[in-house]
Structures are given as structure tokens and as C-alpha cells.
């Protein structure tokens, strides 16, 4: 499962994993708001649905703590980009 995540999605996944490790259960949507850098539950829900579509989470609808991590992801550092002349390292 090679999922490319936005910075917000990475932060949410990290927070969900750390929260579950510390407390033994998943965070609520409201508890995810600071990790997502937002003040609205809509933004959190939208990103949770994207993470579910990418196969990283399974959401149980109607359950406050119904977030289950099912997939793995790996952060990959960006070392350069492909320009007109091929690979160009970051400066």
C-alpha cells in the first residue's frame, strides 16, 4: 500500500497511532482537530475519509472512537525533483 499523504494526513495518522498507544483506544474526531490543524470537524471527517479510501484506516460509522488503523505507511524524504533536465537535487 503506497499512499502519498498530505502533511495534515501524516499528522493525523501519527496522532492516531500515538493516542492509541498511550490510551488503548482511538481518539474522537474532536480530539483530532488540533492534530489536523483545524477548528472544524468537517475537515477532520474529510481527511479521515481520504485515509480510509487509501486503505490506511477503517471507520466505524456512528461510533465515537470508531477509527481503526489497518494499513501501514512510510514517510519518505524528498531529496529532489524531476525538472526539464531530469533529476535535480534540492539545494
Phi then psi for residue 24, to 5 deg, are: 85, 0
pLDDT digits (tens, 9 = 90+) for 31-72: 999 999 999 999 999 999 999 999 999 999 888 899 999 866
Q: Chain centroid to CA 70: how far? A: 12
Which of the four pLDDT bands, split at 50, 70 and 90, describes residue 85?
A: confident
Query: Which of residues 73 and 60 earns the better pLDDT score?
Result: 60
Task: Quote the pLDDT of residue 66.
Answer: 92
**88 DSSP 8-state letter:** E
C-alpha cell at 56: 490506511
> 26: which residues sit within 8 A by CB, 6+ positions away?
16, 19, 20, 65, 66, 67, 68
Amino acid at each position: 500500500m503506497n499512499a502519498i499523504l498530505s502533511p495534515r494526513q501524516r499528522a493525523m495518522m501519527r496522532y492516531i497511532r500515538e493516542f492509541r498507544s498511550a490510551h488503548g483506544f482511538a481518539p474522537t474526531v474532536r480530539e483530532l482537530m488540533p492534530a489536523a490543524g483545524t477548528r472544524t470537524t468537517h475537515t477532520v471527517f474529510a481527511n479521515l475519509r481520504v485515509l480510509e479510501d487509501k486503505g490506511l484506516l477503517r471507520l466505524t460509522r456512528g461510533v465515537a472512537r470508531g477509527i481503526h488503523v489497518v494499513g501501514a505507511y512510510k514517510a519518505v524524504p524528498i531529496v529532489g525533483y524531476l525538472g526539464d533536465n531530469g533529476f535535480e537535487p534540492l539545494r
